[in-house]
């Protein structure tokens, strides 16, 4: 293991990426510019797309996939050709908000079954402190028959890739790295330094690195929850939240967070990993879980506000045609997993309403499979009683105010969740305008 870095750089050993989603695939492509890479995913259909030069994630684009030297495979035995494994699989939560470690356990099993002596396994999946050493290592040892610390070593380097973000990429974000000992830490740090131009931060141990990742997103979650709570309060006061935040933001130390739907598989999930571990240790989280409750209820808040607006504008609720623009968990990203827009849809369903949903960016097959939602065409998004702009895709941002005004019947109601449009111009057209 001592010379593993040199062997990787000289092309004598390979790196493997286990899990080729929004995080794993960009990492594989980045490393392949420097060294030999095996990209493994159980999803054969996804592997075939990559092999045919298609990037379903839109993270690096078709051209980069067509030009990359990554050896894409769905055959686990190909992992035996690599000695440095990076595991980047999702870590979701169950219906009861407890951590679902099935993907990372399954990946550990697969890697373990194909692990060779002298290897290093690095986990990137977001977990609570202790998962790598207490759960993953025993699986690797059991499946491989090898001894951790003697035959192979383990590290942890949390992913910080921001799906859909073309500025904050793997190369430009400082990478936290950790290892089970000094030797593994040094090798892991050097390997990541091959592609991370911003450099690495060497954490003192694996648990510190795991904790650092899980609190990054918990901090954002709490701050956004505060903004969402302010939004609820200010709506009751008849005050525009965005205007309040713009005024407050003129102070040098005011933190510029904004209200919104908090979905995805990071900010909306990671806090539950931390609070779950805290519960096991006998501590019931107060601040973190309070923030989660607020954020989890924002879809219902939006739907209920839509009903109030229909009533205030003397429109029939029972026959209302509601158009929702955007369904993904964030803008300019096809990923619909753990989107909070579905909460708006479900709450409207409770009122007996079936909103029409249009999203030119979203993975339509995924939305159909996970949520049973069929997307409408843009041509169907006309003669609406209310417009809800749920996601600020660039395609939507390019539309002028008149585009949105033309979509809705009189009296016009536009709900612009993130405040993308010009409020004054919309209201100058005798439209009711609402934003978080």
CA distance 136 to 99: 14
Q: Which pair of structure tokens corresponds to residue 421? A: 């449009």
205 is catalytic: no
CA distance 212 to 204: 11
Helices 206-237 & 287-296 angle (0-180, nearest 10): 50
> Is the pTM for the entire model greater than 0.85?
yes
pLDDT for residue 190 is more than 90? yes
pLDDT for residue 169 is more than 90? no
Tens of pLDDT along 300-327? 999 999 999 999 999 999 999 999 999 9
pLDDT for residue 388 is more than 80? yes
Helices (H) and strands (E) in the chain — how many of each?
A: 18, 13
CA distance 395 to 246: 25
Give the residue with greater pLDDT, 169 vs 406: 406
User: pLDDT category, 393, cuts 50, 70, 90?
Assistant: very high
Average pLDDT over residues 40-51: 93
3-state secondary structure 67-117: HCCCEEECCHHHHHHEEEEEECCCCCECCCCCECCHHHHHHHHHHHHCCCC
CA distance 180 to 206: 7
Please give the full DSSP string across 230-288, using - where no structure is assigned.
HHHHHHHHT--HHHHHHHHTTSTT----------TTTTTTHHHHHHHHHHHTT---SHH
CA-atom Rg of the chain in angstroms: 24
pLDDT at 194: 93
* Three-class DSSP category at 150: coil
User: pLDDT category, 163, cuts 50, 70, 90?
Assistant: low
Which position among 136, 148, 266, 333 bears the catalytic label?
266
Contact assessment for residue 104 and residue 125, using Cβ atoms and an 8 Å cutoff = yes
Residue 65: Cβ within 10 Å count: 22
User: pLDDT category, 117, cuts 50, 70, 90?
Assistant: very high
Q: How far is CA 98 from the centre of its chain?
A: 18
Residue 162: Cβ within 10 Å count: 18
- How big is the CA angle at 125 (ends 278 and 188), to the nearest 5 degrees? 115
Q: Show the domains of the chain with their CATH numbers.
A: 4-207 (3.40.50.720), 220-434 (3.40.50.720)
pLDDT for residue 435 is more than 90? yes
pLDDT at 262: 87
Phi, psi of 220 (to 5 degrees): -65, -40
């Amino acid at each position: 293991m001592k010379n593993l870095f040199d062997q990787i750089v000289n092309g004598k050993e390979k790196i493997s990426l286990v899990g080729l989603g929004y995080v794993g695939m960009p990492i594989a492509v980045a490393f392949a510019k420097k060294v030999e890479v095996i990209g493994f995913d159980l999803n054969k259909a996804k592997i075939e797309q990559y092999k045919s030069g298609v990037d379903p994630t839109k993270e690096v684009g078709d051209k980069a996939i067509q030009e990359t030297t990554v050896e894409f495979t769905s055959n686990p035995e190909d992992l035996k050709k690599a000695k440095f494994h990076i595991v980047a699989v999702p870590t979701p939560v169950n219906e009861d908000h407890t951590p679902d470690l099935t993907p990372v356990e399954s990946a550990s099993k697969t890697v373990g079954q194909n692990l060779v002596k002298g290897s290093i396994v690095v986990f990137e999946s977001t977990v609570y402190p202790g998962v790598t050493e207490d759960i993953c290592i025993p699986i690797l040892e059991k499946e491989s028959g090898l001894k951790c610390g003697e035959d192979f070593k383990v590290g942890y380097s949390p992913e910080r890739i921001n799906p859909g973000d073309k500025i904050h990429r793997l190369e430009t974000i400082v990478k936290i790295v950790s290892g089970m000992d000094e030797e593994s830490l040094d090798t892991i740090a050097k390997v990541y330094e091959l592609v991370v131009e911003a450099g690495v931060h060497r954490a003192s141990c694996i648990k510190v690195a795991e904790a650092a990742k899980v609190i990054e997103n918990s901090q954002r979650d709490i701050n956004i929850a505060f903004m969402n709570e302010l939004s609820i309060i200010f709506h009751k006061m008849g005050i525009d939240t965005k205007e309040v935040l713009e005024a407050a933001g003129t102070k040098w130390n005011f933190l510029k967070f904004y209200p919104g739907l908090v979905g995805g598989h990071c900010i909306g999930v990671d806090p539950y990993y931390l609070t779950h571990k805290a519960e096991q240790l006998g501590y019931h989280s107060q601040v973190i879980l309070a923030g989660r409750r607020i954020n989890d209820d924002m879809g219902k808040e939006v739907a209920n506000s839509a009903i109030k607006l229909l009533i205030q504008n003397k429109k029939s609720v029972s026959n209302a045609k509601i158009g929702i623009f955007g369904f993904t968990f964030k803008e300019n990203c096809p990923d619909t997993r753990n989107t909070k827009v579905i909460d708006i849809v479900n709450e409207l369903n409770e009122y007996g309403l079936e909103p029409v949903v249009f999203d030119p960016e979203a993975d339509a097959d995924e939305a159909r499979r996970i949520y049973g939602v069929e997307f409408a065409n843009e041509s169907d998004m006309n003669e609406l009683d209310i417009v809800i702009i749920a996601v600020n895709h660039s395609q939507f941002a390019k539309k002028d105010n008149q585009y949105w005004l033309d979509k809705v019947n009189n009296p016009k109601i536009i709900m612009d969740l993130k405040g993308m449009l010009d409020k004054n111009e919309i209201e100058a057209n005798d439209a009711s305008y609402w934003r978080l």
